[in-house]
Amino acid sequence: MTLRATLQARLAERRERGLYRQLKTLEAAPSPTAVVDGRSMVAFSSNDYLGLACHPQVIAAQQEGARLGAGATASHLVNGHLQIHEALQEEIAAATGREAALVFSSGYAANMGTICALIGRGDSIVSDKLNHASLIDGARLSRAESLRFAHSDTAALARQLQRARNTGGNTLVAVDGVYSMDGDCAPLAEIAGLCREHDAWLMVDEAHGFGLMGSEKLPVAGSAAAMGLTGEDAPILMGTLGKAAGNAGAFVAGSRELIDYLVQFARTYIYTTGMPPAVASGALAALQVMQREPERQQRLRNNIDRFRRGAAERGLPLGDSTSPIQPLLLGCDQTVMRVAAELATQGFLVGAIRPPTVPVGTARLRITLSAAHDPAQITALLAALDSALEDAGALSTGSSEVRP
C-alpha cells in the first residue's frame, strides 16, 4: 500500500473509534481568555497556573532577551550557551534548593534524556502506571528492565523494588509529583523511604508542582519540597517552564555531579539547538515574579477551593485533587466530547481527555484553574457545567466505568 493510502486507512480507523483529535487554532490566548473564531472564551484548559504567560515584566524580559538573537544558533555545547542560560540555571538551583540545574528545550526532552543518560541495559526503572508519556518513553528507550506499579500503590512499588534488586544493576524510580491528568500528588515521603531502603534513585517530575507549592524555605520548589523531601531523598528533580512559569522549556536540578554528568551524557541536551535566549530571559523573569508575588499561589488556591466547593455541592464526579488540575470523570468518550462542545457554545474552553491519553473508560473533562481566573468566571463555569452535563445526560447515564 502507498504511504498516503496507509495513512488514510489509519486516520479513518481513528475517526471510527471516536478518537480523532481536532486541532483548535486560537487567534490569541491572553490567559485566562482565548480568542477562537473571533469569539472571546474563558479558558479552563491552559497550564498557565499563575497567569505569568502575559505578565508585563515577563514579556518585557522576553523582548529584551531577543536582543541577544532570535535563536541560540547552535547546541549548548557548541556555540549556543549564553550567560542568560547560566543566570536562569542559577535561579532554578536556588529556587529548588539544589546545587545546580540544567535547562532543556522541553520537559519531554528533559525526561527522555535524563532517564537514558542515567540507566541502561542491566539496570531497572520502576514507574507509576500513570506517569507522563515522556517518562514512559524514556523508560522504553533506556533499554533498562521496565517495571510498573499500580497508581500510587506503595506496597506494589515495594514489590517491584524487590524484583529490581534481584535483577542487579542500578534502579531508578520515576514518578510525577503531581499527576497531569488526575491532579493528585504522589505519596512522595513513602516513595522516598522505599527508595532509601532499596538503594534506588528517585526522580520526581515536577511539571505540575514547580511554582505552585513548596516548603517554607523553598515556596516554589514543588511537591517534593512541600512533602519535606530534601535533595538526598529526591536527587533528580525535573520541572517544566511551560506551565506555572508560563513560558517554554524545562530543567533538571540536583547535585553538581548530576548536572555535570547530564551535560556529558544526556543526548536530548547535547544534540539539539539551545533554548532561545528570549525564552531563557522571560523564564528567568517569571521565576523572579513567582517568588516575589506569593499572592499568586494564594489566589490560585482560593480559586481551586471555590471550584471544588461548587462542584461538590452539585455532586459532580470530582477527582482526589487539590492541585489546579481538576478532572471530572465522566467515563464515556462521546459524553466527554458532547459536554466539552456544549461548554464551548457557552463560552468556556475545557480539555476533553480520552484514551490513549488516559486509560479506557476514564475519559474526563480536565478543568484547570489559574490565579488569573476571576471568581465570577468560576461561578459561571459551574453554572455552565450544570446545563452542559444535564443536556448530555452525563450524570444520569451513570458513566459507571469510572476508575475510582
Contact residues: ligand PMP, CB under 6 A: 106-108, 111, 132, 134, 176, 180, 205, 207-208, 240, 242, 250
Nearer to ligand PMP, 65 or 183 (CB): 183
Nearer to ligand PMP, 138 or 385 (CB): 138
Question: Least distance from C-beta 214 to ligand PMP, angstroms?
Answer: 17
The number of beta carbons lying within 10 Å of the beta carbon of residue 375 is 12
Question: Least distance from C-beta 181 to ligand PMP, angstroms?
Answer: 8
Nearer to ligand PMP, 111 or 335 (CB): 111
Question: What cell was used for 260?
Answer: 555535570
C-alpha–C-alpha distance, residues 71 and 129, integer Å: 37
For residue 150, give the DSSP letter: S
Q: Is 306 marked as a binding-site residue?
A: no
Expressed in percent and rounded to 5, the helix, strand and coil fractions of the chain are 45, 20, 40
According to DSSP, the residues that pair with 125 across neighbouring strands are 146, 172
Q: Is 208 marked as a binding-site residue?
A: yes
243 is catalytic: yes
Are 305 and 234 in contact by the 8 Å Cβ rule? The answer is no
327 residue type, one letter: P
Cα atoms in the 13 Å half-sphere on the side-chain side of 240? 24
Q: Is 132 marked as a binding-site residue?
A: yes
Nearer to ligand PMP, 107 or 246 (CB): 107
180 is catalytic: yes
CB neighbours of 56 closer than 8 A, spacing ≥ 6? Answer: none
Our CA angle for 115, 116, 119, nearest 5°, is 80
C-alpha–C-alpha distance, residues 370 and 274, integer Å: 29
Q: What are phi and psi of 344, to 5 degrees?
A: -65, -40
Nearer to ligand PMP, 353 or 388 (CB): 353
Catalytic one among 208, 223, 370, 373? Answer: 208
Question: Considering only CA atoms, which of 357, 345, 349, 360 is closest in space to residue 391?
Answer: 345
Question: Least distance from C-beta 177 to ligand PMP, angstroms?
Answer: 8
Catalytic one among 127, 180, 281, 370? Answer: 180
Task: Work out the angle between the directed axes of helices 295-313 and 375-391 (0-180°, nearest 10).
Answer: 30
Q: Is 33 marked as a binding-site residue?
A: no
By Cβ distance, which residue is nearest to ligand PMP? Answer: 107
Q: Is 274 marked as a binding-site residue?
A: no
Catalytic one among 76, 85, 243, 373? Answer: 243
24 is catalytic: no
> Residues marked as binding?
21, 107-108, 132, 180, 208, 240, 357
Supply the residues annotated as catalytic. Answer: 180, 208, 243
